[in-house]
Structure 1
């Protein structure tokens, strides 16, 4: 199934509006974005539609000092970063952060975590509709950043 045109646009918006810069794995923080090539059945269709080597993404949320990925998979949930990485092709993933990371104050990171928590439990959106009833990965990250920080 090919993502709807606005699904591609949402992914592009996440990438361009955030002005991403690489972040070191050892220095992950709430709000960092992670990208991987998933092993899902729709991975190739997503890559072709978005013109990206990556087909899945999430946002880091630090929980009890450990990095978790807030992701939309079967449902929106938190997955330990190491486990999330192992689920991708060859365990490869990249971490990105806002270039203007001065915007990511402790208060802003808390806002991101809280905005993300509001989506936990929502089912995955297989048809890439733009609603809060069901949600897909890049839509989740876009909405979290938009609602928390207006980005």
Structure 2
């Protein structure tokens, strides 16, 4: 009897999640609060609630997130949701949905494939040798559709004075912090005037 109850709970949760993501479309941008060791430092440096971002891909009616973790890859959406704090996410879409034609979506995926398999970039460099999450999203939109989602900044523009942020910077760069390296944060993408919110899970 106990096994049956557990199974029913799992099925109920699965159905609920499927219903709550059915509005998602190819090319949507999805944000979550990562539980990684650097998440809090990113929040402090960028003044952002959200610390991880990816792009929705629908393949054979299954939902995936194309993301830069270790490595750049497609992750099943349910697994991606489970990794986030409180299983919470917010999804956004271009306001001008006319841009998201089937042809343009193919262009986006073709550009994205160039980055597939690349290692995660913990140093947030702007070259294409490695990738971090918001860089991947920004470059896919820019290099496929010539759409700049979010304002590029330089590392010096972030709030680098909190002790935790200082510690992370010292761990990664020592005394040679690349202050004038271009960067894009999840916060800049989230607040882009080109996007609108299409859904939220677990507020």
By the TM > 0.5 criterion, same fold? yes
- Which consecutive segments of 4 or more residues in structure 1 shift more than 2 A? none
The residue number in structure 2 matching 1:31 is 27
Q: Distance in 2 between matches of 1:106 and 1:51?
A: 35
CA distance in 1, matches of 2:62, 2:110: 17
Q: Does 1:127 align with 2:117?
A: no
Equivalent-residue separation in structure 1 for 2:143 and 2:125 (angstroms): 18
2:72 to 60, 71, 76: 76
Using the TM superposition, name which of 62-71 and 139-148 deviates more. Answer: 62-71
Give the superposed CA RMSD: 1.1
Partner of 1:13: none
Confirm or deny that 1:42 pairs with 2:38: yes
Q: Deviations over 1:15-41 (max 9, x none)?
A: xxxxxxxxx731212210010000000
How many residues align? The count is 128
Which has the larger displacement, 107-116 or 119-128?
107-116
Q: How far has the Cα of 1:118 moved from its partner?
A: 1.3
Unaligned stretches of 5+ in structure 1? 1-23
| TM-score between the two structures when normalised by the length of structure 1 | 0.82
- Normalised to the residue count of structure 2, the TM-score between the two structures is 0.61
Q: In the TM superposition, what are the counterparts of 1:111-150 in structure 2 within 5 Å?
A: 111-150=107-146
Could you tell me how far apart the structure 1 residues matched to 2:107 and 2:24 are? 17
CA separation in 1, counterparts of 2:115 and 2:92? 21
Q: Kindly name which structure, 1 or 2, has the bigger radius of gyration based on alpha carbons.
A: 2
Where 2:56 maps in the other structure, the secondary structure is strand
Larger RCO (alpha carbons 8 Å, 6+ apart): 1
The equivalent position to 1:99 in structure 2, one of 78, 95, 99, is: 95
